[in-house]
Structure 1
Amino acid sequence: MSEERVGFFTDTSVCIGCKACEVACKEWNALPEDGLSLSGMSYDNTQALGASTWRHVAFIEQPAPAPAPAPAPTPAPTADGRTQLPLIDGESGGAAPGSEMRWLMSSDVCKHCTHAACLDVCPTGALFRTEFGTVVVQDDICNGCGYCVPACPYGVIEQRPTDGRVFKCTMCYDRLGAGQEPACAKACPTESIQFGPLDELRERAALRVDDLHDAGVAGARLYGHDPEDGVGGDGAFFLLLDRPEVYGLPPDPVVTTRDLPAMWKHAGGAALALLAGVAVSFAAAGRGRR
């Protein structure tokens, strides 16, 4: 890479679900619209990332966490000297009956993995790593083989039904080359989507989690920020308010091609052994004809 690696930090705690990022992404990249039919998933008409949806705002509805229970009073003895046990009202944990609902909103995007399996399996070189550390598909080189679709541990890549070619977020590669930030980050009114040098974003995100914990938001956590995780860290990482599975994200993503070097090594050893066996057979047959 000739440039400093850049990426996205998406702070879901300030996402308001306005979908400005989705609209800006579609407008800048001239992506087809997703239709206006109801999906049955709250206000989420796009439902998931795909070949024509490079930014997807997820709406997760769930009961608001119940407040921590007050300490139980010390049981007082009754008039006859027995201990009166407290009554149990419902089960512990979860949301209290009649509690309010909450929306968890998150703008999802391609993760631009450090160890990108889609790059490993592409036979044409249509996928490449840019000078900014992002992963981009060259649609004029893609032959529609689809190998990258199952290789992605996040299920981001999809083939267009019209011609089979794959498309995904480019982190607005054309805008980066012109010194501009991606369209989605530019359009975000709450700065939920932040763009910049990846190292700076990771430092900023860690401070944000500390602030939320100090404010009593115990569920705040980072996802995809760790360079030691199964994909070497993501170029697009998130601050979540609940477990990754709640947002439809794999809890422990692993680059799907991690075993390829060992597989090629074993295959090479097997091929050498087979060639050696064939050579020995020919040598033995030659001696038998003398």
Structure 2
Amino acid sequence: MAGDAGSAPAAGDTLEPEPPPRVGFFTDTSVCIGCKACEVACKEWNALPEDGLTLSGMSYDNTQQLGASTWRHVAFIEQSAPAAPPVPAPEGRTELPVAEAAQSAGGDGELRWLMASDVCKHCTHAACLDVCPTGSLFRTEFGTVVVQEDICNGCGYCVPACPYGVIEQRPSDGRAFKCTLCYDRLSVGQEPACAKACPTESIQFGPLDELRERAALRVDQLHQAGVSDARLYGHDPADGVGGDSAFFLLLDEPEVYGLPPDPVVTTRDLPAMWRHAGAAAASLLGGCLLAFAASSTRNGKGTRA
């Protein structure tokens, strides 16, 4: 399974003798304006098909979830909540007029939007890698997880293995698809298309260790400003997936954003399961050998008689 999170690529499965620092995304949802520029940039760069243009009737969000053709998804979460303290801009950034207007429109209680751009987490302990029988899924030198669709046989094992429900099979041919963290762009020194297109720097790309430091400072800034619900999600190398390459600053519980509160790599118990299966098989084989030996002994006595 996987190795340490941090600067080195996860799982030690890259073949690079001196791999570059592990990279990822830090998504600061407190400055997301829901423009969906990341969704559009992702689709344009990766030539992804459209998902249908029908609104759900429940939200301004028409894509609704990540899938085989939606590798970036901006969630729109509408909440009726008591007036909250204003969310300050990150250090050195100009306050957004849109945010100021939304914060001043409250009264006794206000409507607030929690907007967040979701993506594959590129887990340190990636269960999808563990279960893929063809090697279609592999770990890059940047510590990210990529699907090679030309090798995928459509078995679908990776779909239930993902603790975040990110991977999906495309109905037209059954192959699995997900975010590659723009591996082709990283290979030539460019940042991913979604981060490049984000106008508020809600999606930040860079070395994972630097992003974690930056995220911790941002949470401290929000707490000092009275935004007590600000928290990080997916940043901890000691969590159930060994930390994510794509982690988030949230303004409410993870469940509000449709994220599992305590994700665990789904193949965590596989080694123990194989050990138990091996012990059971050995016991069964031993029983068969004893039965065969006992039968041979009885037959031998009968022959001599």
Q: Same fold (TM over 0.5)?
A: yes
Indicate whether 1:286 and 2:286 are aligned.
no
User: How high is the TM-score relative to the length of structure 2?
Assistant: 0.84
In the alignment, what sits opposite 1:23?
A: 40
Deviation at 1:24, TM superposition (A): 0.4
Task: Kindly provide the CA deviation profile for residues 243-274 of structure 1, in whole angstroms up to 9, marking residues without a partner as x.
Answer: 00110001011111111010000001111111
In the TM superposition, what whole-angstrom CA distance separates every residue of 1:116-164 from its partner, at most 9, and x where no partner exists? 1111111111111111110111101111111111111111111111111
- The alpha carbon displacement at 1:97 in A equals 9.2
Counterpart of 1:263, as a letter, is M
State the match for 1:159 in structure 2. Answer: 169
Partners in 2 of 1:172 and 1:5 — Cα distance? 14
The structural deviation recorded for 1:63 is: 1.1
Change (3 A) 1:67 1:195: closer
Residue matched to 1:169: 179
- Secondary structure of the residue that 1:100 maps to in structure 2? strand
Q: Is the 8 A contact 2:83 2:110 kept in 1?
A: no
In 2, Cα distance between the equivalents of 1:97 and 1:165?
50
- Find out whether 1:274 has 2:291 as its counterpart: no
1:94-173 map, 5 Å: 99-173=109-183
Equivalent residue number for residue 29 of structure 2: 12
Paired with 1:20 and 1:97, the residues of 2 have a C-alpha distance of 31
Q: CA deviation at 1:36?
A: 2.1
Give 1:261's aligned residue.
Answer: 271
Residues 60 and 247, structure 1, Cα contact 8 Å, conserved in 2: yes
**Residue matched to 1:79:** none
Match of 2:236 in 1: 226
Contact 2:195 2:203 (8 Å CA) reproduced: yes
Whether 1:55 and 2:109 are equivalent positions in the alignment is no
Quote the offset at 1:35 in angstroms.
2.4
1:37 aligns with 2:47: no
- Unmatched segments (≥5 aa) in structure 2: 1-13, 86-105, 301-305
1:179 pairs with one of 176, 189, 198: 189
Is the radius of gyration larger for structure 1 or structure 2? 1
Q: What's the CA shift for 1:41?
A: 3.2
Task: Report percent identity of matched pairs.
Answer: 83
* Inter-CA distance 248–262: structure 2 relative to 1 (3 Å threshold): same
Deviation digits for residues 170-219 of structure 1 (CA, Å, limit 9, x no counterpart) = 00011111111100001111110001111110010000000001111111
Task: Please give the TM-score of this superposition, normalised by the length of structure 1.
Answer: 0.88
Q: Which amino acid aligns with 2:65?
A: A
How far apart are the structure 2 equivalents of 1:63 and 1:28?
36
CA shift at 1:67, angstroms?
A: 5.7
C-alpha separation in 1, matches of 2:82 and 2:253: 13
Q: Distance in 1 between matches of 2:212 and 2:108?
A: 38
